[in-house]
Amino acid sequence: MIKKIIQQSIDTKQLIMQNDNVIKQIKVLSHDIIKVLKNNGKVILAGNGGSFADSIHICAEFVVRFAKNRKSLSAISLGCNSSILTAAANDFNFDDAFARELEAVANVNDIFIPISTSGDSKNIIKAVEYANTKSIKTICMTGDKGGKISHITDCIKVPSNITARIQESHIMIGHIICELVENYFVNKK
């Protein structure tokens, strides 16, 4: 059983490595993030459950560091302030919570990276819809189907329908992006 799980993870990552479109999307997203950060914008991430944990993790890699000492890079993860999250969920609706917070913190020179294994999370979809109305660049990370969100924004689709394998790949993609972005800013000195 253990080796089967490991093999599934390897197989998913090999499919990513062999997919020129996904590789190109990772490269484009990395360049978009660099451009945003060079222009004093910020990276805004969001997710639910394990994807929320991934968004916080990736955010920390930007703000603190990934592997090299360098200046802090501007990034936030929606939902980290429990007072904002619960007030928005209570006073409005949980489906509107991320959109409400995005309204407060996002600018047109930012980039929004929602993470959803299914692509069908209502609060993520509403946040993307808000970002679209404000012309905020958005690229989502999803599973292979892309879900409803793939109809309203660009998505990096992990070629799997197994939640755990998708999440493992999302964090790998996040780390690749962090490394590419960090290398740019370290080498820029």
Mind listing the domains of the chain with CATH numbers? 2-187 (3.40.50.10490)
Write out residues in the chain with pLDDT < 70, as ranges.
Answer: 189
| Contact (CB, 8 A) for 151 and 182 | no
DSSP 20: H
Q: What is the pLDDT of residue 188?
A: 78
Spatial contact of 104 and 85, defined as CB atoms under 8 Å apart: no
Cα 73 from Cα 188, distance rounded (Å): 14
Q: What is the pLDDT of residue 189?
A: 58
Average pLDDT over the chain reads 96
Q: What is the dihedral of CA 44, 80, 160, 158, to 10 degrees?
A: 10
pLDDT per residue as tens digits for the range 124-166: 999 999 999 999 999 999 999 999 999 999 999 999 999 999 9
CB 117 within 8 A of CB 49: no
pLDDT of the residue at 156: 98
CA distance 85 to 51: 16
